[in-house]
Structure 1
Amino acid sequence: MVRMLAVAALAGTAVFAGPAASADGETPLFTIKDSRITESSGLAVSPTHKNVYYTHNDSGAEPTFFAVGSNGRTRAKFTLRGAVARDWEAMAASKDPATGAGVLWFGDIGDNFDGAWPDISVYRVTEPTTMQDAALPAVRYRFRYEDGGHNAESIMVHPRTGRLYVVSKQFAGAVYAAPKRLRTDRVNVLRKVGSAPMMATDAAYAPDGSNFVIRTYFSATVYRTPGKQLARVSMPPLEQAESITYTADGKALLTGTEGAASPVYRVPLPAEVLRETAPRPAPTPTPTKKAGPALVAETRAAEDGDAGVPTLAVAAWLAAAAAATGVITLIARRTR
């Protein structure tokens, strides 16, 4: 875990493009009230429960996460059976495309020595259907980077494809894509697909998959795809900005911090991002008049590559040729 003081001196070297949007005032959307949540490091909106937000503590804690209501009070605490929490740093939420069930992902991906661990882990859990304390079965996937070890605090899952991404936390960070099909019987390889801002602390995909955001200690950047930046978004001042996700409607961001009684703020997305990522209306087909048999035949001939000689012209030429042949034959008989 790298503190803000470690990178504050380098903040002025970061390069950003585009205007920045500001937070919704200085009033948090809610404040986490559970005294057990002291290092809220990951944040996700429930994909199936209204007004439910998930979070978990940072390294050194148990493999547990909390469901928090919109009033900031904990609704349930869940434990992952058989999991370990070496250095939990991030979480993500998605839906199973086959069943529509909610899926939660937890990233045990922290590595302050950039290669101290031979591999990192991400746990996949089916979202609980009821808000009651419980122990949940989890599937563990192990990963390694194609280019050596990295520290990371960000995972995100594309809502349409279900593909997992990890964003490294370094001065020259990068976005890494997991294989399309994850394996539990071997280590999965993460491959670099784009660059990331300096010292990324969290990342998330929009609910419709049209864009994603990467959070740093100082701001957030929204991307259409890896490497294609849409806008930079200013964040409210936080003691240690650690988490970010999208609201359920995809029109704003939620961001949080570590510490006791930590606040969660709502930050609207810039208008240009909403405009750029809005669904495009399907093109209206141009109506055509009903064609007669001859025109249909001519059109088919044109589609077959005979656009220079329409069918009607060919028919007229054949008729003329037949008439000329008859006249020649008649003359030849009379002159014998």
Structure 2
Amino acid sequence: MTVLLLALVSCVVVNAQLPQFSNGQVKGYISTPIIDEASGLAASHLHEGILYTHNDHGDAPRIYAINATDATLVAMLTIGSGATNHDWEDVAVGPCTPGASTFCIYIADTGYSSANDDEANIIYRVQEPDSLTDQTLTVDSTLRFSWTEEESQAVMVDPNANVYIISNVRSGRGKFVKLPPVWGQAVPTNVDSTTILPILTSHHDPTAADISPDGKGLLIKAKSHIYYWTVTDGDYLTAVTKPFQELPYIHESLGEAICWDYKSESYFTLAEGHYKPLYEYEPVTLDEVSRVN
């Protein structure tokens, strides 16, 4: 009896420490036909309640700022300085450089359609604008790399301005790579990794990922699942080799975008297509979980 009681207490303590989230709630529907292949999502660190998204390949090099409360379009940000949307797959927001007080938008031109292009496998870095109006942003710098993988649909930036990507592969067991900070180099740097995601899916995955602004939470999205890791020491490559927690997800056809909110509390998802819903998954307390159960 004592052993059983200790096991039950241990289970309760562990579950209490794990984050709990509500089922997704529709915040609103994308209000413009311009956004029809939303392939990435990231929360602004400068403008509260703003999310950045972009279309997959085929669109001009543009980022769209949308309102997180109702999914309406706030501003269209054109990326200048010769940037091209060969196959933009994801976007992230983080410090521009280690210890910087300025924040940047990181855009991953890393998709399959650009894999054999000389200008492919580029991370564009642009500073977040002070005001959200339709405007053209100058590229702050670029990070060019080469690797053996066909594509990545997930880019992340941690609080120390480190950039990570994950290869998109059949089964989801992609390579998790920390890119070297070789910003501004004209010649691509070859990258590789021995860190393999421990997930197993029946699709080409993952489709998106995000590191929380406080650096303590890692979300990786597959076509039909969302995986979560708590990271207390900033070592994301080691963290993903450990057991994960699966979080609530309302299945979206062609769902390829996920991000934390700016407070590192809720997470959002958005799918490709016209007038798609923006879902928010909010944290719930242990008391709320108990009432539901």
Runs of 4+ aligned structure 1 residues displaced above 4 Å come to: 18-23, 269-272
Match of 2:9 in 1: none
Q: Is 1:121–1:142's contact at 8 Å kept on the other side of the alignment? A: yes
Residues 175-216 of structure 1: per-residue CA shift (max 9 Å, x gap): 111014434232123231522234100000011112311100
Structure 1's unaligned 5+ residue stretches are 1-17, 273-336
Going from structure 1 to structure 2, the CA distance change for 1:194 and 1:90 (only over 3 Å counts) comes to same
The residue aligned with 1:219 is 225
User: Is the contact between residue 153 and residue 168 of structure 1 (CA under 8 Å) also seen in structure 2?
Assistant: yes
- The one-character-per-residue Cα deviations of 1:85-143 (angstroms, maximum 9, x if unpaired) are 11011000012344411200111100169x53455111000011111111111122211
Q: Which residue of 2 aligns with 1:256?
A: 270
Secondary structure, counterpart of 1:166 in structure 2: strand
Instruction: Report how far residue 51 of structure 1 moved.
Output: 1.0
Per the alignment, residue 137 of structure 1 pairs with: 138
Contact 1:123 1:140 in 2 (8 A): yes
CA distance in 2, matches of 1:25, 1:158: 26
How does the TM-score come out when normalised to structure 2? 0.78
User: What code does the residue aligned with 1:219 have?
Assistant: H
* Distance (Å, rounded) in 2 between the aligned partners of 1:217 and 1:271: 27
Unaligned runs of 5+ in 2: 1-13, 232-238, 287-293
Structure 2 matches for 1:174-213, cutoff 5 A?
Answer: 174-196=175-197, 197=199, 198=201, 199-213=205-219
> Which one-letter code corresponds to 1:87 in the other structure?
D
Identity %: 23
Q: How far did 1:71 drift?
A: 2.2
- Alpha-carbon distance between aligned partners in 1 of 2:135 and 2:105, rounded to the nearest angstrom: 15
Structure 2 CA distance for aligned equivalents of residues 123 and 41 of structure 1: 16
1:73-222 paired onto structure 2 within 5 Å: 73-81=72-80, 82-96=82-96, 97-111=98-112, 116-117=116-117, 119-138=120-139, 139-145=141-147, 148-159=148-159, 161-171=160-170, 172-196=173-197, 197=199, 198=201, 199-222=205-228
Write out aligned runs for 1:1-16 (5 A): none
Q: Is the 8 A contact 2:93 2:103 kept in 1?
A: yes
* Superposed displacement of residue 230, structure 1: 3.5
For the residue of structure 1 that corresponds to 2:263, the secondary structure is coil
Deviations 1:129-174 (A, max 9, x none): 11111111112221112xx132211100111x21111111102312
* Aligned partners of 2:166 and 2:177 also within 8 Å: yes
Change (3 A) 1:193 1:92: farther
- Distance in 1, matches of 2:23 and 2:227, equals 19
Question: C-alpha displacement at 1:271, in angstroms?
Answer: 7.2
Shift of 1:26: 5.2
Q: Which moved more, 1:24-33 or 1:205-214?
A: 24-33
Equivalent runs, 1:265-284 vs 2, <5 Å: 265-268=279-282
Q: CA deviation at 1:229?
A: 3.2
What is the RMSD computed on CA atoms of the aligned residues?
A: 2.5
- The separation in 1 between residues aligned to 2:194 and 2:211, in whole angstroms, is 15
CA distance in 1 between counterparts of 2:221 and 2:153 reads 10
Whichever residue aligns with residue 85 of structure 2, its letter is A
Contact 1:110–1:153 at 8 Å: present in 2 too?
Answer: yes
Counting helix residues as a fraction of each chain, which structure ranks higher?
A: 1
Shift of 1:252: 2.2
Is 1:36 aligned with 2:34?
Answer: yes
